[in-house]
A and B are shown apart, each in its own frame.
Chain A
Amino acid sequence: MYAQMIKSEATLDDPEKLAAFQARIDAGDKIEPKEWMPEGYRKTLIRQIGQHAHSEIVGQLPEGNWITRAPTLERKAILLAKVQDEAGHGLYLYCAAETLGVTRDEMTEMLLDGRMKYSSIFNYPTLTWADMGAVGWLVDGAAIMNQVPLQRTSFGPYSRAMVRICKEESFHQRQGFDIMMKMCKGTEAQKNMAQDALNRMWFPSLMMFGPSDKDSTHSVQSMSWKIKMNTNDELRQKFVDQTAPQAEYLGLKIPDETLAWNEEKGGYDFAEPDWDEFFEVLQGNGPCNVERIEARQKAWDDGAWVREGLMAHAEKRAALKEAAQ
């Protein structure tokens, strides 16, 4: 999901090897870490899987924000489990990226110093409990749209991570929709809160798929390498087609006056998000960019003594064990 604007890296490899590699991909082979691959393929994947992993980890912050304030103990336990899943998803993905020759620490440092990004969506605040519903329903819904086809991606470890993630992801979307249903059947004030969450999350969710195909310059190489399976606009259309009837079911109104079923194309017509806002958020100027990176930096700095201490302990124990033998 969570991979936007991934620049395809140029590749300067031997044309013969490149052609053989492309033939393997076209034949549906999976590429495994120790096999030959073009440098551009490796670099693009590190960037994409890294961004995907960072998104899972940073994505815990807006939801973690509501764990202590969940309305019931059951909701709290569910949200806690969901946020724990996101940590797990981040870890699966970091491991997949590491097989390409980058270390976990290097990736963390690239996130903290801005060389690597995470999805724009997590730079928006979660202001009310209804946002937990909207995030699960829309943000995880959009993530699923993107991740399901990525199960077929050409890089073995990435594909296997996606299979695990997709298995767990539908719980996330359902728990979000369940929150929305509950609120929409509640008091007028609760329903308004749900509507307000949809109003704020709708366009940022559409932005998750990345810029329009006409402005998306990096797609061609990634698609032929099967690192990217669908174009941004294809997935966005699919998402709107799936989500619009769900909003109707909830009795909520999608904040887009132009949204209408188009019989001829067999899909909805809808307004594009404000792309200037999208690029601003990517540049670091969204509502929560600074806060998110500060939180990650703090976790990294505050955790340093734990990382070092446990390693020192392990080394000491290993030395004692060796001495005893």
Chain B
Amino acid sequence: MSDLKKEWPLWEVFIRGQHGMSHRHVGSLHASDEEMAILNARDVYTRRNEGVSIWVVEAKHIGASSPDQKGPLYEPSNSKVYRHPTFFDIPDDVGAM
């Protein structure tokens, strides 16, 4: 039986697809350290030229909002429709705006 506590830690992988784009989460993998996580990410997530840059971060360091908080967390923005430009009626005569 293996010692389950000795399992390599989990890393989350973020890849920049092209220059000028932001890094995007693509998945996760196990690796013993950061260097190996980047090499594994290269093999697992960029076999078809999907990236020009890789970020890895150990999964335990990621803070996440709780699904139960969905209501209170996002409610404040629900009621502020005037933040969207379509809220305002600008006459056609004004031209492009």
- Verify that A and B bind, or say they do not: yes
A residues near B, CB below 8 A?
Answer: 32, 34-36, 81, 84-85, 88, 91-92, 95, 98, 103-106, 109, 160-161, 164, 168, 304, 307-308, 310-311, 313-314, 317-318
Partner of A95, one of B28, B33, B43: B28
Q: Can you report 13 A-B residue pairs in the complex whose CB atoms are below 8 A from each other?
A: A35-B67, A36-B67, A84-B43, A91-B44, A95-B10, A98-B28, A104-B7, A105-B4, A160-B27, A164-B27, A310-B8, A310-B36, A314-B33
A105 adjacent to B7 (CB under 8 Å) = yes
B residues near A, CB below 8 A?
Answer: 1-2, 4, 6-8, 10, 27-30, 32-33, 36, 43-44, 47-48, 64, 66-67
A84 adjacent to B47 (CB under 8 Å) = yes
* A109 with B2, Cβ < 8 A, contacts A95-B27, A168-B48, A310-B8 known: yes
A34 adjacent to B66 (CB under 8 Å) = yes
Partner of A88, one of B32, B47, B66: B47
A317 adjacent to B67 (CB under 8 Å) = no
Please name all residues of chain B whose beta carbon is closer than 8 Å to the beta carbon of A34 when the two chains form the complex: 64, 66-67
A104 adjacent to B30 (CB under 8 Å) = yes
- Measured CA separation A120–B43 after assembly (Å): 28
B7 adjacent to A103 (CB under 8 Å) = yes
Please name all residues of chain A whose beta carbon is closer than 8 Å to the beta carbon of B64 when the two chains form the complex: 34
Please name all residues of chain B whose beta carbon is closer than 8 Å to the beta carbon of A168 when the two chains form the complex: 47-48
Closest to A160 in B: B27
- Measured CA separation A35–B65 after assembly (Å): 11
Please name all residues of chain A whose beta carbon is closer than 8 Å to the beta carbon of B48 when the two chains form the complex: 168
Among B29, B32, B36, B48, chain A packs the most CB atoms within 10 A around the CB of B32
A307 adjacent to B6 (CB under 8 Å) = yes
